Structure 1
């Protein structure tokens, strides 16, 4: 993902998320600047139709909606913050391909875990990608999880290294 893709990210976000889950252009720009190598765009016919953004984190740390990315100094986890596939690209397998690409990068970097917050009823999709629900014991992390709208948000993880 490049800074020139941000207009497309905003368009895709508006197509895919409930209004309360949409993040501002300023937040997206700040996140891209802090973790540019863990932000990807998928295109069809030269037009952005899906994206995935994440950052290196620690297991059990939840990125609240609207917060900037704070990449960990000693990461053990790739936190996948946002995946969106526009309606014109649904059924093309781009979501799973973006996830597989991100997880392969995390494995190359020897990160032990991948984690995310499932929103808007997407838990079945993430389960198909190998993620499982994981409880959060820390009250601060539970509050971050509660910042997501549109039904119960679920913290999910996947072990990457055997």
Structure 2
């Protein structure tokens, strides 16, 4: 029997997170450990890992945000906005070997439930590498927001009302 568990991300998870990131993204989308750790430290209650048989098989970095101006990719986020109006999904990755087990769906549902309980009314993200088709299945719709070039030519800002 396969065991799955979603839990808050811990500082000692970052070696596994960096390995997953490397397995899932091309070099231009790889963020440094320092950048990811800083984001997790700013919003420690809204970033999770999912384990499959006690091995980290996916992660989801999220944080509160304000407006449609997006946080830069692979740049330190020194602070969160004082006023927030949305929940921002920064990064979702599932180990290639664990795909097909609905881990992404479980992490997304977990984050959406958390955002609703935290009184957010919308969730925003940037879909890269053609992932907008995946996010549309989760009720996200394109948002006509200009994106920094670092997100890639096919990147699409997306929003879901809660």
TM > 0.5 fold call = yes
1:90 equivalenced with 2:92 (yes/no): no
* 2:17 aligned with 1:15: no
8 A contact 1:35–1:54 mirrored in 2: yes
Name the SS of the counterpart of 2:37 in structure 1: helix
Unaligned runs of 5+ in 1: 137-141
1:59–1:113 contact (8 Å) kept in structure 2 = no
Structure 2: gaps of 5 or more residues: 1-8
Task: Measure, in 1, the Cα distance between the counterparts of 2:44 and 2:13.
Answer: 12
Three-state SS of the structure 2 residue aligned to 1:41 is strand
Equivalent residues of 1:115, 1:156 under 8 A apart: yes
How far apart, in 1, do the equivalents of 2:80 and 2:108 lie? 19
1:37 alignment partner, SS class: coil
SS in 2 for 1:63: coil
Assess if the C-alpha contact under 8 Å between 1:39 and 1:53 holds in 2. yes
Map 1:1-162 → 2, pairs under 5 A: 1-69=9-77, 70-136=79-145, 142-144=146-148, 146-149=149-152, 151-160=153-162
Equivalenced residues, count: 153
CA distance, structure 1, for counterparts of residue 113 and residue 53 of structure 2: 25
* SS class of match (1:147): helix
Q: RCO (CA 8 Å, sep 6+): is it higher in 1 or 2?
A: 1
* Corresponding residue SS for 2:87: strand
Root-mean-square deviation (Å): 1.2
Q: Kindly provide the CA deviation profile for residues 12-33 of structure 1, in whole angstroms up to 9, marking residues without a partner as x.
A: 0001001100001111111111
Q: Which has the higher helix share?
A: 1
CA shift, 1:74, in A, is 1.8
d(CA) in 1 for partners of 2:33, 2:75? 12
Report the alpha carbon displacement of residue 72 of structure 1 after superposing the two structures with TM.
2.2
TM-score by length of 1: 0.90
Shift in Å, 1:2:
0.2
Which segments of structure 1 move beyond 3 Å, counting only runs of 4 or more? none
